Amino acid sequence: MSALEARLTIAVGGADGFSVEADLAHDRGVLVLFGPSGSGKSLTLQALAGLIRPQRGFVRVGGETLFDSDRRIDVPTHRRRLGYVPQHHSLFPFCSVARNVSFGLPRRERRDDHPRVKRLLEELGLAHLAGARPASLSGGERQRVALARALAVEPRLVLLDEPFSSIDGEGRGALREAVRATLDRHGTPAVFVTHDAEEAIALGDRMVRYRRGATAETGDPSAMLPMAARLSLCAERVRVVTDSAAHDGEIEIALDNARLRGPATVLPGAGAAPVRLHLRRAGDQKGGGEGR
């Protein structure tokens, strides 16, 4: 029984509108819908969520049919039990962070100190913001709250629609890792829409590429995307593991599933400026990427 199976024809805007053909299958982890803006990724996501009605096709989640045009099944959004994290306007502005997270719980359990709410806030590093209003949060904090809120109702599948697109580069890497770790911990499969290759590689277990309004190919994101994105990701994921005081430490680099570890020298005076890393394999010379 797979987490998600869908084959959809979605048409919007009438005769001279736009149509999308999507064919998706997903088991566990994160499925990335990848393609340029306007290729139909978000429409697919909205159709999965039940926010728009496809012309034809079916959606099955965890074995249950949520939509089937032939059998005239169309489960309304509020009964689909799918988490949804939109690009913008994701938080309810009129209530606190904790209230946002507990929003979807049944009335009796809807408390700020509900164990699941507290745990999610802690996992996503938001515990100190429980009483804060959404307007006072940074973009990254807002999207963490939006994810916590989606997971609080224990959905069968989480749908994320370019959730990091309005967040600057600095915070994106950390946010990605936090989101990925939280999804892994809860074991909730996710569908993640992005047009960013780095993001696709960092988050995706599988990837579906959109081309001219249709899903074209499926595979491993790091095998499907160009080398440039993989290198810059490599740089972003560089972490100094030990000892910075002596300027001599050990460095760990993660690229895809591979990890490199070895002695490293940090040159004095670099400060917060970008640092060029030279990776050298024992015996021969190999260049590296750039990082901060």
Partner 1 sequence: MTAPDSFPVLLSLRVAAVALAVVAPIGIAVAWFQARRDYRGRTLVDAAVLLPLVLPPSVIGYFLVLLCGRRGPIGAWLLEWFDIRLIFTPAAAVIASAVVALPMLVKTAQPAIESVPADLEAVGRSLGLGPAAVFFRVTLPAAWRGVVAGLVLGFARAIGEFGATLMFAGNIPNRTNTMPLEIFAAYQAGDDDRALAYVVMLVGISCVVVMLATRLNPREVSA
- What residues make contact with partner 1 under the rule CB under 8 A? 46, 49-51, 76-95, 103-104, 134-135, 137, 142, 146, 149-150, 153, 155, 159
Min CB(103)–partner 1 separation in Å: 6
Nearer to partner 1, 58 or 103 (CB): 103
For 144-183, b/e burial (b = at least 16 CB within 10 A) is: bbbbbbbbbbebbbbbbbbbbbebeeeebbebbebbbebb
Nearer to partner 1, 94 or 262 (CB): 94
Nearer to partner 1, 81 or 195 (CB): 81
Dig out the tokens for 245 from the structure: 């005081």
- Only one residue has tokens 């001219």, namely 212
Min CB(46)–partner 1 separation in Å: 8
Min CB(227)–partner 1 separation in Å: 35
Min CB(72)–partner 1 separation in Å: 20
Nearer to partner 1, 146 or 251 (CB): 146
Min CB(49)–partner 1 separation in Å: 6
| Rounded Cα distance, 46 and 85, in Å | 11
Residue type (1 letter), 190: A
Min CB(7)–partner 1 separation in Å: 22
Q: State the sign of the Cα–Cα–Cα–Cα dihedral 100, 102, 105, 110.
A: negative
Nearer to partner 1, 156 or 275 (CB): 156
Min CB(248)–partner 1 separation in Å: 46
Nearer to partner 1, 104 or 288 (CB): 104
Nearer to partner 1, 66 or 197 (CB): 66
